[in-house]
Each structure stands twice: as C-alpha cells, then as structure tokens.
Amino acid sequence: MPPIICSSALQAVALIEDNETLWTHSMGATPKILLDALAEHALTRKNLTLLQLHTEHAESLSHPRLKGHLRHRCFFGGVPTRTLLQQGDADYVPIFLSEVPKLFRSGEQAIDTAIIQVSPPDKHGICSLGISVEATLAACQMARRIIAHINPMMPRTHGDGFIHYHKLAAVYEQSVPLPQHPLAASDATSLAIGQHVAKLVRDGDCLQMGIGAIPDAVLACLTEHKDLGVHTELFSDGVLNLVELGVINNSRKKVYPGKLVTGFALGSQRLYDFVDDNPSVIFMDIEQVNDTSIIRKNPNVMAINSALQVDISGQICADSLGTRIYSGVGGQMDFIRGAGLSEGGRSVIALPSTAANGTVSRIATVLSPGAGVVTTRAHVHYIATEYGVANLRGKSLRERARALIDIAHPKFREQLCIEAFEMWQLRV
C-alpha cells in the first residue's frame, strides 16, 4: 500500500496520536522539517516520548511549552537536549551504542512511529537512509508506522540503509541542504595531541575515530602512512582527505576488505558527494558496526576516542560533567574492547590536559562526584594529552598515577602528586 503523500510536514506528522513513543533519525539525517512540525503538532497531543541519539538543529522540540506534551528520552545527549537533561526535564539512558538496535528488536523498547529522512525512491521503489543508518534501521523495522521526509539532497548510500517506499505511512518531499560540519580548525593543543596519537598508528592499522578538532588533527598527521583501513561508527572530512591521498585503502582489513565501513557520516557537502552512490563506502546497522566480535576480526584495530575527565587510576568519564549529563556512552567501549581483543589492536583516549580556559585539570585525582565511568580502568590502554602519551596497559595504580601526572598540565602536577598520596596512599 503506497504512503499518504502530504502537502506539508504538519500533515505528515498529524498521524501521531496521544501516548505514542517516537523515534527520530539522528545525526546529519535529523529530519528537522518534520521535527519542527512535530513541535507544533505535539501541542495538540499529550504524553509523547521521543527516543533519540544526537540530533542536529532540533531545538524547536526543546521549547518549555512542550512540557507535558513531549518528553525526550536520550541514548545520547546533544545541544538540543543537554539543558533539558541537566534540568531533569528529559531522560538519559546509559547504553552502549551497539545495544540500542537490540533494545528495539527484542521488544524491550517499543516504538510506535519512526520519523526519518530519506533519498527519493529509485526505479525499484527503494529509498536510502543516506548518511545515517545507526539505530534507525532497527527502529524502522520495529515501528508500527514510518513517517518520512523525502529529500532529493540526501545521498543514496550503499550498505544496510535501504527501505522500500511502500513501507512508509506518510511522506513529505522537500529539497533542503543537510547539516554540515566542516573540518575543525586545529589549534596548538589539538595539533600536539594529534602528533602524539599519530605516532601510535602503524601502517596497515584499521582505524576508528570520531569527529572534531582532535580526531581531525590526528588524521592530518597520517599523510605518510600506508594501507590504513577504516571500520568506525562515524567519520568526517579528515578521513576523506586520506582516502584521496591513497593512505586509506582498506586493503589489509579482513572484514569487508576494500570497503570503508561506518554507521553514519557528518561533514561537508564534499563528503556527502563522496559517499553518494559510492560502493566503496558501506553504511551499516550500528549493531553490526559496533559489535565487538566483528571489530576484533580485523587485525591491528586502532581505536581513537576522547573523554571529559580521567582519574589517576585510569577511569574514563566521557558522558557527564559530574552529575550533569553532557553526551552519552556511545560506542567508546564497543571499540576499546574490540581493539583490545584484536590481534595487534590498541586504543587511545585523547584529550586536552585542561578545561575551563586552563583553570581545571582534566586529569584528576578522583572523578567528580556522579561522573559516569564509560571506560573502566581495566579496559584503558593509552591516554594522550598535548604533553605526551601514558601507556596504562598492565600498569599498577602507582605506575598509572605517575604516568598520568607526567602528561597533566605542569601547573597541576605537584598538587596531583600530593593528592595521590593523601587520597590513594600512592607515593609517586
């Protein structure tokens, strides 16, 4: 049965009724036009729940007037939801990114309506989820109803992200540019961290990394490497530069050799043009991309991630500032564990040594009260700041404290040494 063809976004979301649980396509595929319409429609409804990962430009759904009409349930926080989460006006669900699709497919988390953004149907009637497959494929498979924004500017990507036009309940078509995240400008700190991390990368490594100034700086330092591969939950323009130089060719991978594997992409229009109808890039279900048992099959996996705070025992906080939720668990542990089990695999947490304009050390004696331990001290391998790299694999608490204090900002090192003894009885 073909979908209802709607003349407005508001008409499309008008199918949503009271007490529904909704899923929204996330990242660069966030269906902003439909979500803006939902912000209006929700005022006529009550008790809607919106499940989501990180969303782009969806601030309209965070307006105070929606209280009582719509509540966010976040597997990952972002700009549109961060204030609501920290005020207690939205809900945060700590969960590994790899397990979000499982939550849907098992029925543990029911979904009434999936709200998505897709490419126009091809001659076979098949649309593409485009630059963001993540958990949205699973949501579409399990939802009772799918409402889609058909966007001719959405790239048609290869991999898992296909959905037949007749599976859609309602569609609204409009051509609009996708959110763009150009390469971050490298400051001196990011560049120094990038240089340290790049020294850990070997020819033939299979990379996982995020987006932002530090990952971009790392990638910019890899131009002389050879035969790198990519199996990552997300990638951006820094990867594209290395593909064009021939540095990334995926030739040594055992899982999808010759293919760049990802769950979503976020970057410039140049990046979106690159992935459009490109069979060398496959966008996969995040349950597969982030599956530790699949990640480990590639040799020499190099997982590069970030953190908000690290304590001197090696515990990594990546989702909160104390009790204030900032982002989410994401795929950090999926890849750190997968890299640890990979033959020749390694992982690194890369972060600036300070925060708050240099007034706070990110390497702390103990984590802030309420801080979420995303990566345990038993899983951590390398930690890098602009002052160097600490290898914590197989090290004692005393050895860890010494190594981490050595890469802390110099102005905090003496105090960290004092507190290491006072709090941990560690003589460093």
DSSP string, 248-274: B--TT-SSSTT-EEESEE---HHHHHH
Would you mind telling me the total number of residues written for the chain in this entry?
428
| Separation CA 230–CA 270 (nearest Å) | 19
Which residues on neighbouring strands pair with residue 117, listed in sequence order?
149
CB count in 10 Å sphere of residue 70: 24
What is the Cα gyration radius of the chain? 22
Which of 118, 54, 76 shows the shortest CA–CA distance to 283?
Answer: 118
Contact of 383 with 362, CB cutoff 8 Å: no
The tokens describing 186, both together, are 């490298």
Query: What residue type is 61 in one-letter code?
Result: L
Active site residue 233: yes
Crossing angle of helices 188-198 and 213-220, in 10° steps, is: 50
Q: How far is CA 29 from CA 21, 116, 119, 351, 403, in A?
A: 20, 8, 10, 28, 41
Instruction: Please answer whether residues 233 and 263 qualify as being in contact, where contact means their C-beta atoms are separated by less than 8 angstroms.
Output: yes
Spatial separation of the C-alpha atoms in residues 114 and 187, rounded to whole Å: 40
Say which of 99, 233, 386, 419 is annotated catalytic.
233
Q: Which of 118, 99, 115 is CA-nearest to residue 162?
A: 118
Beta pairing partners, 333:
none
Q: How far is CA 325 from CA 8, 95, 298, 322, in A?
A: 35, 13, 33, 8
72 C-beta neighbours (distance < 10 Å), count: 24
282: closest CA among 158, 128, 180, 156? 158
- What lies within 8 Å, CB to CB, of 400 at 6+ separation is 312, 313, 314, 377, 390, 392
- Residues recognised as catalytic: 233
